[in-house]
């Protein structure tokens, strides 16, 4: 069932994380441990103009994407927020949601010049194009004046890494330095096979082999996001950190190590990556990977009871998976191959931003509103989790317990930050520990090109064509379903010229960027 | 004429089912194959729908494990209770009904006269024909349309945004046009001689004769309004104005239907995501399938008219 | 005589007709022609701040991403071929169903069938794709299980492009056959009963009556349906193809249409100008097609052309 991949699922992979049901959250910050503490944003000590006592009421329009809560529930929470703001900012909040499957509505809103005060955008969505088309206000000078709290609660590295063309075009919304990865395993099946919990891919393969023999009706390993098993392997590879230029997932234009060199898979294929492609294809030939993995959507997820191993992002078994499998009499566990002894290279790019469109007539008020939202734990808690006592209650300082799940979890649309984030109790201690680890910037090596924005103006046509080709040729390779040699050859013939052009342009910009940084 | 009388009587009695027609073996085989094809296609249409209905009455766990089954292993109305429980469903039905009824009537009022004019042999018909067809092939483009409706006409978040854009569909115009061309010219001339102007000819002569096709087009418009979620996606923000299909689409797209329906009752501890999709399909089709027999009357009436004329 | 004078004279003669057409014309202007200004952004580097009439004019630059690719011809041909298959099969199916259904004497049976035929129209492609999945998937799909039970080996449907033109056509007939048959039924019902009676008197059997009376009288309807579909022949059915094939690249050689290609290309990178360029391409090609086909029809029988 369900062949079409919903945006929400893509989003989950891209790390703006919503784990279904009782809402989730990762633990807080990518706090750099040590003296570079929290107040390092550009001029955090600001001269705030005091808001005038009685402002005229204004309705702020926000445009988000995703699962819209019912008007009733949202109305309750917003009413409470508006009540708290009545004496100071005096705003009414009007939030509209574009469904994941139709996010182009956000584009339409921008392109038609509609009156919007705050809008969601992301690097995996269209933030680069929208910035190039001059839709957003530059926030560098405005934030210290109108929204100093917004600056305070996010660490310096997050601001540095998430500028575009050297400027702040959107407030980064995220908490971690590098997205978690895990494989969820049916514990009961593994134990029935008499195998230990895998600690590397060879052991995992042994598990898949045994599972295939003993349980021929089950899918040994599944991954719904384009079946991109290769990326699932490379993102957990801390030796050479293979990655694409911006995202942790792999692409034909890739990077390895940390030398600021943009590589082209067609001309300069890394042996490591090629061996991963071969391995994945071997899995397909051996029957570990379902042949319709490119279309299967949610069909083989753990909670259909048809899968032994399920590839996921983040840490900790999602609540629905756990409950559904237990209802079938099974048990789940999870494992990650992140290597704490090594430092993975990452560019600290966040996956969600909130931006102020230039057409907004209430720019100052909107920023002040975000300032309020980031000013205290109470304000943040309200918008993120709902009305305390009704929708949730605290479980200590750092965690929370869901009482009423009708208010969905979407702080990553407007307020998400490391300082006030609470974890959902449901995820357990081990996941919480791993989350803390990925929060800490010291555990990672900063990519040389952190903070670089690629201006794709010169190559926008090539990239559009490559986008179309990627679905056709790349994913069949990285999912193992296509014949490796012939498919890759065809892909090369069609795409290499395009990729070379983009590569040259990209490398040129990277070199400029590195030169300007003095290294 | 005696022979013809006998034949006519024979035919009338045949029609009344009194005497069996002199049917050859070939005709009989032909008739059987017709029945077989019709039944086959009817099943082809019915079975997937049946699977949806059966699935909607299945507990979520079974759906996930077994998928679609003709006879589900277990019966449950959980999905329906889930959908109905929230307030949204009532709202959405109301919106859909009002938009469909008003929309269909207005659309017929705009489309049918327009198509009639196109069928007459006046100079303006050809240019209008081309101009209508042109819009069908070269759409307005999304951005232009969006700016028009939300900015210039100011219809954002109103029901009129759901009604007005579909008032005239060139496809239906041309179907009506083809039909109007078959109306015998003598009847119109006779009416004109009796002193009727164009309006009366249209209303008193052509419309009654064209009842089957007008009913058909009315049905198609109703289906379009009823099924549409596109306009709602573009122009409706508040859930009070969400038509049924848009609500369904939201449910299908969300990972957790609970948010949209707003349904915190502890009774519903698990979320029937697949079941909800199927249940909502059934709830959409229900009203139309019930209404369709009423429209079918017009098809029968056409036969009566034809027989009387003979 | 100028156009204005022509219109004036016509108006005086046929004022009531103009009255009847007025709401339709108003609608066409407002909802049909006014939004066409949006097409201008296909030729512009659109900036909202400058508006549609102030943005920089870049001629055909926005078309390059599509025509510069190696695949644009293959995709266009895919679109055309699929649409022709769809058009022919659904019109034929609608025609046959209507003719057959008309032969059915049993009134209740007839009505029930009419309702059933309409059901697929309501099943959205999202739900339909769930069903197709249940039939064709490689682990427990119904089709493979049936094949295996009679001794044949299963087929990996979702990675073999060659079956999919047929599969899509089949599904299209399922969805639209009943809908189309309703149009034909309305036309059949209006055929004078006298024709059939006199034919029977002349000794024609039922088959001959259908062949010589019903079918010829349905040619105008068929022609209209063909003409109406032909203008959209460059527009793929995005909801259907994307709903069923999704992002499964293995199937693209036979199923990738202009709309899905543009969607993928623009999903990550694009802007509305590029999307507008593709729509304009589809629209212009459609107009060219219909003008050619309409002229053709006119030479055969002027009565039956659209304009």
pLDDT at A48: 46
Give C68-304's CATH code, choosing from 1.10.3720.10, 1.10.10.10, 3.20.20.370, 1.20.58.1030: 1.10.3720.10
Listed in sequence order, the DSSP H helices in A147-266 are: 148-152, 156-161, 187-192, 201-214, 229-234
Domain-located, residue A4: no
- CA-based nearest residue to A233, from A221, A249, A251, A245: A249
Tell me: do A188 and A80 sit in the same domain: no
Tell me: do A498 and A384 sit in the same domain: no
Tokens, residue C195 = 């024709």
A18 — pLDDT class (breaks 50, 70, 90): very low
pLDDT at A10: 35
* Nearest-Cα residue of chain A relative to residue C136: A292
Percent over 90 (pLDDT), chain C? 19
Helix (H, G, I), strand (E, B) or coil at B70: coil
* Nearest-Cα residue of chain A relative to residue C62: A461
Interchain contact A196–B (C-beta under 8 A): no
Distance in angstroms (rounded) separating the CA atoms of residues A2 and A4: 6
- CA-based nearest residue to C116, from B40, B36, B80: B40
Residue finishing a domain among A394, A423, A444:
A444
Q: Is A448 exposed, middle or buried (0-12, 13-18, 19+ CB in 10 A)?
A: buried
Domain-located, residue A2: no
Of the given ranges (A16-20, A222-226, C25-29, C139-143), which has the lowest mean pLDDT?
A: A16-20
Chain B residues within an 8 Å CB radius of A296: none
How many CB pairs lie under 8 A apart between chains A and B?
101
Distance in Å, alpha carbon of C142 to nearest chain A alpha carbon:
13
Distance in angstroms (rounded) separating the CA atoms of residues C261 and C266: 8
Give phi and psi for C165, each to the nearest 5: -65, -45
**B150 with A114: Cβ contact below 8 A:** yes
pLDDT, one tens digit per residue, over A390-424 is: 989 988 777 888 888 778 888 999 999 888 888 78
Listed in sequence order, the DSSP H helices in C33-71 are: 64-67
pLDDT, one tens digit per residue, over A29-48 is: 233 333 333 333 333 333 44
Chain A residues within an 8 Å CB radius of C138: 290-292
Q: How many domains does one find in chain A?
A: 3
Chain C residues within an 8 Å CB radius of A506: none
pLDDT at A308: 92
Cα C179 to its chain centre, rounded Å, is 12
pLDDT at A467: 83
Chain B residues within an 8 Å CB radius of C30: 148
Residue A27 has pLDDT above 50, yes or no: no
Interchain contact C256–A (C-beta under 8 A): yes
* pTM summary value: 0.79
Tell me: do A458 and A517 sit in the same domain: yes
Residue B45 has pLDDT above 70, yes or no: yes
DSSP secondary-structure letter at A164?
B
Average pLDDT for residues B24-33, to the nearest whole number? 82
Distance in angstroms (rounded) separating the CA atoms of residues A400 and A407: 14
pLDDT, one tens digit per residue, over C247-256 is: 888 899 999 9
- Using CA atoms of A171, A176, A182, A187 in order, give the dihedral in degrees to the nearest 10: -110
**Cα B165–Cα B169–Cα B172 angle in degrees, nearest 5:** 155
Interchain contact C291–B (C-beta under 8 A): no
> DSSP letters of B115-146?
HHHHHS-STTHHHHHHHHHHHHHS---HHHHH
Cα B242 to its chain centre, rounded Å, is 20
**C139 with A471: Cβ contact below 8 A:** no
Alpha carbon of C135 to those of A1, A148, A326, B242, C125: distances in Å? 10, 57, 28, 33, 15
Q: Enumerate residue ranges in chain C where pLDDT < 70.
A: 1, 192, 268-270
**B216 with C111: Cβ contact below 8 A:** no
Q: Is A390 exposed, middle or buried (0-12, 13-18, 19+ CB in 10 A)?
A: middle
Asked if A9 contacts A226 with a C-beta cutoff of 8 angstroms, the reply is no
pLDDT at A7: 31
Interchain contact A114–C (C-beta under 8 A): no
Summary mean pLDDT of chain A: 82
**C123 with B52: Cβ contact below 8 A:** yes
Determine the residue among C268, C276, C277 to mutate to test chain A binding: the one whose Cβ has the most chain A Cβ atoms within 10 Å: C268
Asked if B265 contacts B82 with a C-beta cutoff of 8 angstroms, the reply is no
**β-strand partners of A93:** A60
Of the given ranges (A15-24, A161-170, C66-75), which has the lowest mean pLDDT?
A: A15-24
DSSP secondary-structure letter at C250?
G
DSSP secondary-structure letter at A375?
T
DSSP secondary-structure letter at C31?
I
**B147 with A94: Cβ contact below 8 A:** no
Tokens, residue A133 = 């088309």
Contacts of A among chains (3+ CB pairs under 8 A) = B, C
Q: How many residues does chain B have?
A: 310
Chain A residues within an 8 Å CB radius of B259: 67-70, 73, 406-408
Tell me: do A428 and A461 sit in the same domain: no
Q: Which domain holds residue A210?
A: 181-222+296-337
Tell me: do A125 and A250 sit in the same domain: no
pLDDT at A113: 83
Q: Does domain B87-253 have CATH number 1.10.287.990?
A: no
pLDDT at A125: 86
Chain A residues within an 8 Å CB radius of B258: 21, 405-406
User: Which own/partner contact pairs does A191-198 have at CB distance under 8 Å and 24+ positions apart?
Assistant: A197/A333, A197/A335, A198/A335
**A305 with B249: Cβ contact below 8 A:** no
Q: Which residue has the higher pLDDT, A48 or B254?
A: B254
Residue finishing a domain among A391, A413, A444:
A444
Average pLDDT for residues B107-132, to the nearest whole number? 90
Interchain contact A460–C (C-beta under 8 A): yes
> CA C183, B232, B48, B72 torsion: positive or negative?
negative
Distance in Å, alpha carbon of C166 to nearest chain B alpha carbon:
16
Interchain contact A111–B (C-beta under 8 A): yes
pLDDT, one tens digit per residue, over C165-199 is: 999 999 999 999 988 998 888 888 777 677 888 88
Average pLDDT for residues A341-362, to the nearest whole number? 92
- Using CA atoms of B165, B168, B170, B171 in order, give the dihedral in degrees to the nearest 10: 90
Domain-located, residue A360: yes
pLDDT, one tens digit per residue, over B267-284 is: 555 667 778 778 877 887
Residue A385: give its domain's CATH number: 3.40.190.10
pLDDT, one tens digit per residue, over B136-177 is: 888 767 778 888 888 888 888 899 999 999 999 998 998 888
- CA-based nearest residue to A242, from A209, A213, A275, A267: A275
Residues 6+ apart with CB under 8 A from C99: C184, C188, C210, C214, C215, C218
Q: Measure the N-to-C terminal CA separation of chain C; round to a whole number of Å.
A: 22
pLDDT at A45: 37
């Amino acid at each position: 069932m369900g062949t079409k991949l919903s945006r929400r699922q893509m989003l989950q992979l891209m790390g703006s994380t919503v784990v279904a049901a009782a809402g989730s959250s990762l633990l807080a910050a990518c706090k750099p441990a040590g003296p570079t503490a929290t107040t390092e944003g550009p001029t955090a000590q600001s001269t705030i103009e005091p808001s005038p006592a009685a402002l005229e009421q204004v309705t702020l329009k926000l445009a988000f994407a995703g699962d819209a809560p019912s008007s009733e529930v949202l109305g309750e929470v917003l009413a409470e927020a508006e009540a708290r703001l009545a004496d100071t900012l005096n705003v009414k909040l009007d939030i509209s949601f574009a469904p994941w499957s139709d996010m182009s509505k956000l584009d339409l809103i921008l392109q038609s010049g509609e009156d919007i005060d705050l809008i969601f955008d992301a690097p995996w969505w269209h933030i680069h194009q929208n910035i190039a088309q001059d839709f957003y206000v530059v926030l560098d000078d405005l934030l210290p004046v109108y929204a100093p709290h917004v600056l305070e609660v996010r660490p310096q590295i997050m601001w540095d890494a998430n500028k575009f063309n050297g400027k702040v075009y959107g407030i980064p919304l995220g908490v971690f330095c590098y997205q978690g990865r895990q494989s969820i395993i049916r514990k009961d099946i593994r134990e029935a096979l008499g195998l230990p919990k895998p600690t590397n891919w060879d052991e995992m393969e042994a598990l898949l082999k045994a599972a295939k023999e003993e349980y021929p009706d089950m899918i040994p390993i599944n991954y719904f996001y384009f079946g991109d098993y290769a990326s699932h392997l490379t993102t957990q590879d801390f030796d050479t950190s293979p990655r694409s230029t911006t995202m942790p997932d792999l692409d034909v234009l890739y990077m390895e190590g940390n030398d600021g060199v943009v590589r082209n898979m067609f001309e300069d294929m890394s042996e490591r990556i090629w061996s991963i492609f071969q391995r994945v294809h071997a899995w397909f030939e051996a029957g570990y990977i379902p042949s319709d993995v490119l279309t299967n959507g949610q069909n083989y997820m753990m909670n259909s009871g048809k899968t032994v191993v399920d590839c996921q992002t983040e840490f900790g078994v999602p609540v629905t998976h756990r409950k559904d499998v237990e209802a079938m009499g099974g048990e789940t566990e999870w494992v990650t191959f992140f290597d704490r002894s090594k430092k993975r290279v990452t560019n600290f790019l966040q996956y969600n931003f909130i931006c102020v469109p230039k057409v907004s007539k209430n720019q100052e008020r909107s920023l002040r509103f975000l300032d309020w939202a980031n000013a205290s734990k109470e304000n943040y808690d309200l918008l993120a989790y709902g009305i305390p006592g009704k929708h949730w209650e605290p479980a200590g300082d750092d965690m929370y317990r869901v009482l009423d799940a009708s208010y969905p979890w979407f702080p990553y649309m407007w307020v998400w930050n490391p300082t006030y984030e609470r974890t959902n109790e449901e995820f357990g201690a081990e996941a919480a520990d791993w989350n803390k680890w990925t929060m800490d910037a010291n555990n990672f090596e900063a990519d040389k090109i952190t903070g670089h924005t690629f201006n794709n103006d010169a190559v926008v046509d090539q990239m559009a064509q490559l986008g179309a080709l990627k679905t056709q040729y790349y994913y069949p390779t990285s999912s193992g379903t296509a014949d490796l040699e012939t498919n890759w050859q065809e892909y090369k013939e069609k795409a290499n010229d395009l990729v070379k052009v983009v590569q040259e342009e990209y490398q040129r910009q990277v070199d400029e960027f590195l030169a300007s940084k003095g290294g | 004429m005696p022979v013809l009388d006998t034949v006519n009587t024979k035919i009338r009695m045949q029609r009344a089912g009194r005497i069996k027609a002199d049917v050859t073996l070939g005709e009989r085989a032909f008739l059987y194959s017709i029945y077989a094809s019709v039944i086959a296609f009817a099943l082809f249409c019915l079975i997937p729908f049946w699977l949806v209905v059966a699935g909607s009455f299945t507990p979520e766990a079974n759906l996930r494990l077994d998928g679609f089954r003709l006879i589900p292993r277990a019966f449950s109305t959980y999905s329906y209770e889930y959908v109905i429980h929230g307030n949204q469903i009532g709202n959405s039905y109301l919106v859909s009904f009002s938009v469909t009824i008003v929309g269909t009537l207005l659309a017929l009022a705009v489309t049918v006269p327009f198509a009639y004019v196109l069928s007459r042999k006046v100079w303006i018909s050809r240019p209008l024909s081309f101009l209508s067809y042109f819009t069908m092939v070269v759409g307005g483009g999304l951005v232009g349309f969006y700016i028009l409706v939300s900015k210039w006409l100011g219809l954002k978040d109103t029901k009129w945004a759901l009604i007005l854009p579909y008032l005239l569909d060139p496809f239906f115009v041309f179907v009506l046009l083809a039909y109007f061309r078959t109306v015998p010219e003598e009847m119109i001339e006779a009416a004109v001689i009796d002193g009727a102007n164009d309006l009366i000819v249209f209303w008193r002569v052509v419309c009654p004769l064209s009842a089957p096709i007008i009913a058909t087009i009315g049905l198609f418009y109703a289906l379009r309004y009823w099924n549409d979620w596109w306009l709602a996606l573009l122009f409706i923000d508040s859930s009070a104005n969400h038509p049924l299909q848009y609500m369904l689409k939201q449910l299908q797209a969300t990972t957790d239907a609970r948010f949209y329906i707003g349904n915190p009752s502890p009774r519903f501890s698990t979320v029937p995501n697949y079941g909800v999709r199927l249940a909502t399909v059934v709830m959409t089709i229900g009203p139309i399938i019930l209404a369709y027999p009423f429209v079918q009357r017009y098809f029968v009436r056409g036969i009566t008219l034809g027989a009387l004329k003979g | 005589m100028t156009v204005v004078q022509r219109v004036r004279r016509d108006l005086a003669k046929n004022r009531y007709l103009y009255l009847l057409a007025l709401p339709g014309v108003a609608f066409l202007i407002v909802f049909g022609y006014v939004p066409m200004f949006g097409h201008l952004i296909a030729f512009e580097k659109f900036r909202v701040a400058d508006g549609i009439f102030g943005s920089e004019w870049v001629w055909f630059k926005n078309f390059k991403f599509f025509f510069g690719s190696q695949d644009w011809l293959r995709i266009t041909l895919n679109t055309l071929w699929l649409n022709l298959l769809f058009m022919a099969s659904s019109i034929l199916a609608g025609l046959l169903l209507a003719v057959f259904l008309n032969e059915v004497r049993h009134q209740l049976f007839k009505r029930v069938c009419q309702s059933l035929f309409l059901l697929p129209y309501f099943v959205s492609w999202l739900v339909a794709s769930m069903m197709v999945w249940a039939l064709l998937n490689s682990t427990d799909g119904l089709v493979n299980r049936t094949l295996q039970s009679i001794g044949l080996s299963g087929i990996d449907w979702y990675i073999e492009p060659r079956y999919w033109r047929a599969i899509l056509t089949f599904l299209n007939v399922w969805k639209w056959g009943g809908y189309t048959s309703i149009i034909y039924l309305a036309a059949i019902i209006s055929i004078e009963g006298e024709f059939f009676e006199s034919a029977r008197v002349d000794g024609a059997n039922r088959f001959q009556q259908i062949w010589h009376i019903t079918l010829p009288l349905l040619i105008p309807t068929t022609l209209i349906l063909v003409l109406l579909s032909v203008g959209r022949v460059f527009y793929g059915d995005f909801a259907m193809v994307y709903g069923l094939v999704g992002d499964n690249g293995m199937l693209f050689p036979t199923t990738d249409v202009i709309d899905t290609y543009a969607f993928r290309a623009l999903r990550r990178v694009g802007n509305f100008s590029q999307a507008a360029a593709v729509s304009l391409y589809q629209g212009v090609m459609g107009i060219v097609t219909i003008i050619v086909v309409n002229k053709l029809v006119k030479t055969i029988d002027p009565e039956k052309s659209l304009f």
